[in-house]
Amino acid sequence: MSIGPILPGRIPSSLSSGRIIGNLNKANYAMVFLQDQIATGNKFFLPSESPSDAVSTISLQRLIERKSQMQNNVRDNQVLLDQTEQSIASVAETLNRANTFVLGAIGDSATDAERTAMATEVSTLIQSLIAVGNSNYQGRFLFGGSESIEPPFEAVDGGFVRYNGDKTEINAFVNFSFLLPNNINGADAFNALSPSVSTDTDPALTLQTKISDLHNGSGVNLGSIQVAITGPPSQTETIDLTNAETINDIKIIIEDAFSGALPNITVDIDPGSNNGIRITPSAGTVAVTDQEGSRAAFGLGIESTAAAVVNGTDIDPQITLKTNLADLNNGAGIGATAGNGLKITNGLKSQVVDISSATTVEDLFNVLEAADLDLYIDLNDDRTGISISSRLSGADFSIGENNGTNATGLGIRTYSGNTVLADLNLGQGADVDGDEDLELTLSDGTAISIDLAGAKTIQDVIDAITASDPNITASLNTVGNGITLTDASGGASAWGIQENNLSVALGLDNATVPAGNTLVGEDNNPLQAQGGFALLTRLQSALLNGDDAELNLLGGAFTAEIERFSLVRTELGGRSKVIAETSERLKDDQVSLNAQLSDVYHVDLTEAATRLTQLNATIQATLQVASITLNLSIFNFL
């Protein structure tokens, strides 16, 4: 800072002293400012002192803080992933150990006593696997999904293992717009849920359907459309649909655009399909096109050249918790629920669940949860239907009818015409291409031999049996699951199926029934979890029962599970690698941002110290000159 000269000449002492004091105050302020800069390392302290740099500084500081939080997230994620990896490191060894029992117990290679000893050790393996599944880090159970407060796995009656967690991934931001899960839930890690039963239930489109729920949840990006009516008279309107949230909004906006003089337009749900929008002009034809830059008409399925009626295409509304059960299956619903319901068997529990009080999907979920059948209930990943699994590893799980069509209508029946024969009996299948046929004897004495070669599904079997003789009819059981046979021959003798491997595999092993009775087959397509807990439970039972057929199946199942589990560990390793790379990028970003902040906010200490020294010398010189000048009197000028 420069200090202005003290002008010589005959000026009043008060003016001279005032100027000197003012200059000294400015110099002192400048000195204090420099001292503060040196003490703090900052160029300025108030935004008004350097507005442009202040804006840059605030922006950079905010960015650095966010990056620091990301770095903390990365560190936490890395710790959790490391703990997860350490926890499951022993699982593969447990599965391999169990697999040696399978190989060592088949046939005559082990005595009954040895198999019993193996079964006892398998029980120990199950407990150790439960302990791994309940691994805890700082009060958080690693494999519970979002249910991380309580242990996710427990042994329950029947020798089953119940999974109490969910399938949720816990995500954390490790960089801007980059979410990465820091956990793996027990359902995915240990394959602890049975395969879900789920079918597309094709909910009907309604006026209350949200635009965001169309196309199975992908929604429609709305914009402007052009609707042209060829009358007479003709009318063309450009209609902005941007603010519509439901199909009813679409209806109101389009109809309002033509609410003046005729012709007008009616918009409703196409009654022929219940899955598209219908547009009907009061006269002439109507055409719907998108305006430039818009895909609204295409997305809503109403894009059309001139037509008397525009019948929109299927726009696939997704199922939601608020979907009415009556709207499923294109509005056909699920059949009468009063007196019917669902017959559900899961492990030791079997119950007919009355769902007559349920109106929406959410109501149904609440009813099923209240039944306490150890079910995992959700919407499927595609949001096309309901998904239900068993939480019990080692338990048989099935959902069947109870004299109605509710299970089929909900898409959750575990045994249907589409059931693949190779999946029956927990994967043992039914050998329809072998030497054996189905051998029936009707009540009138008619013998029927049915060749099922080439059959692939249960429906193929039903069709083949029904086609074999006019007096025999096959269908699905009306209660529970399985195949029912009806004899209309009118005889008086007991009738039935000769028991052989094929009939047993198809669940038709009730040898004979009295005349006039139906032969009701068994459910031979229960679902089971396929993970380590289920396999160990099945292995223990097979060892105790000397079941070589089951042991043969388990050999391949353990190999498949070991391979699947290696993929789980690979996924965890992949996440850890991403975390490490992200951490390095964040460190580089921090260095770059701090350098930018230093340029605009941090003072050059060497320069500031030099300026302080210079200013101090200037002030000293000014004080000396002032002391001489202020001591002058009139006598000095005489």
Residues 410 and 429 in one domain: no
105 lies in some domain: yes
Residues 174 and 142 in one domain: yes
Residues 301 and 383 in one domain: no
The whole-angstrom separation of Cα 196 and Cα 378 is 10
Mean pLDDT for 61-83 is 88
Structural domain ending residue among the three candidates 393, 414, 435: 414
CATH number at residue 246: 2.60.40
Residue-level pLDDT at 71: 87
The whole-angstrom separation of Cα 44 and Cα 601 is 7
* Residue 566 burial by Cβ neighbours in a 10 Å radius (0-12, 13-18, 19+): exposed
93 lies in some domain: yes
3 lies in some domain: no
The residue behind tokens 């800072």 is: 1
10 lies in some domain: no
Residues 384 and 440 in one domain: no
Percent of the chain residues topping a pLDDT of 70: 94
Residues 461 and 574 in one domain: no
Per-residue pLDDT band at 619 (split at 50, 70, 90): confident
- As given in the structure block, the two tokens for residue 76 are 């936490």
pLDDT in tens, 395-441: 999 999 999 999 999 999 999 999 999 999 988 899 999 999 999 99
Residue-level pLDDT at 362: 97
431 lies in some domain: yes
Residues 89 and 169 in one domain: yes
Round the average pLDDT of the chain to a whole number and report it.
Answer: 89
Show the domain range for 493.
423-520
Structural domain ending residue among the three candidates 370, 395, 414: 414
Output phi, psi for 29, to 5 deg: -60, -45
Residues 371 and 429 in one domain: no
Mean pLDDT for 468-495 is 95
Total domains in the chain come to 4
Strands (E) located in 111-222: 136-137, 140-141, 153-156, 160-163, 171-175, 178-181
- pTM for the model stands at 0.83
Residues 216 and 156 in one domain: no
Residues 336 and 448 in one domain: no
CATH number at residue 170: 1.20.1330.10
Residues 343 and 403 in one domain: yes
Residues 78 and 179 in one domain: yes
Answer whether residue 323 shows pLDDT above 70: yes
Residues 544 and 573 in one domain: yes
Beta strands at 235-240 and 483-487: parallel, antiparallel or unpaired: unpaired
150 lies in some domain: yes
429 lies in some domain: yes
Task: Give the other-Cβ count within 10 Å of 112's Cβ.
Answer: 10
637 lies in some domain: no
